[in-house]
Amino acid sequence: MPEGPEIRRAADRLAAAVVGKPLVRVEFAFAELKRFERELVGHRIESITARGKAMLTRFDQGWTMYSHNQLYGVWKVAAAGERPATKRSLRVALETARCAILLYSASDVSMWRSDEVESHPFLQGLGPDVLDPALDAAVVAARLQSPAFRGRALGGLLLDQGFLAGMGNYLRSEVLFATGLRPGRRPKELDASAIARLAAALLDIPRLSYATRGIAPAERMRDDYLTDTAEGFRFLVFGREGEPCPVCGSAIEREMVGSRRLYLCPRCQS
């Protein structure tokens, strides 16, 4: 499943293609949304924004489309009137005179009055978004030490969208490696210095991934993806089972934590 940085970059790409331009054609595969095919023609998309792993497409006539890619959904941008060759099922098409944005395979799509969309159950359950520039490390540190989260193992907590929205599997591995922590550690076991390091990494690593083209693990091209600069995002442990740790040289190990694969250094993380 794409993680917060990938969804945010997708929203940026879609917005650049269609925001502010009148819609000339709209398609929905879902019967309950068919009425919007005519209602939206002639109107404009005001914004396309990411909320954790969900996306909100706001129209100028007072409606907002909520969508979640889940495991298989994917957005594509095409020229007006064109449809990419694919075996995927088209779920949503929003087309201007020049471009079309197309959602394939996703099943979690709904329309909400814009002033009511925040009542969507998924959005209500989200914690602060790690890519929200207003979120700072002090707030994250306080959440780590709060009664709701302080007793939970980090391996599960870092995937909980109710703790921090936008975190995901590769980010979990990289954050734990960067802070030298095992997935079984709990915030209540950590001293103030470790909490501060973890809180900072939970913001810095997703934001670096977003800013420097971190991509979904299934799509990455191993060495082609790695950057030559310290500023670029790179997988230090994720997907590198058996390879040497970049710090100590020990072989990177893979574990299943919360039914998801997690990669760590057995020597650097404790």
Q: Using the CB atoms, write b or e for 204-218: b if 16+ within 10 Å.
A: ebbbbbbeeebbbbe
Question: Pick the catalytic residue: 2, 128, 183, 217?
Answer: 2
Cα separation of 196 and 24, whole Å?
50
- Chain centroid to CA 210: 9
Record the tokens describing residue 16, joined without a space: 């650049």
- Chain centroid to CA 113: 24
Record the tokens describing residue 158, joined without a space: 């870092």
Neighbours of 245 (CB within 10 A): 20
Question: Pick the catalytic residue: 8, 9, 51, 53?
Answer: 53
Q: Parallel, antiparallel, or unpaired: how do β-strands 63-68 and 74-79 relate?
A: unpaired
Half-sphere exposure for 48 (CA within 13 Å, toward CB): 22
Question: Pick the catalytic residue: 3, 6, 95, 174?
Answer: 3
Residue linked to tokens 């075996």: 87
Q: Parallel, antiparallel, or unpaired: how do β-strands 260-264 and 253-257 relate?
A: antiparallel
In 3D, which of 82, 165, 183 has the Cα closest to residue 129? Answer: 165
Question: Pick the catalytic residue: 44, 152, 260, 261?
Answer: 260
Residue 166 near residue 129, CB atoms below 8 Å:
yes
34 part of the active site: no
Record the tokens describing residue 242, joined without a space: 């058996």
53 part of the active site: yes
Cα separation of 221 and 205, whole Å?
19
Which residues are tagged catalytic? Answer: 2-3, 53, 260
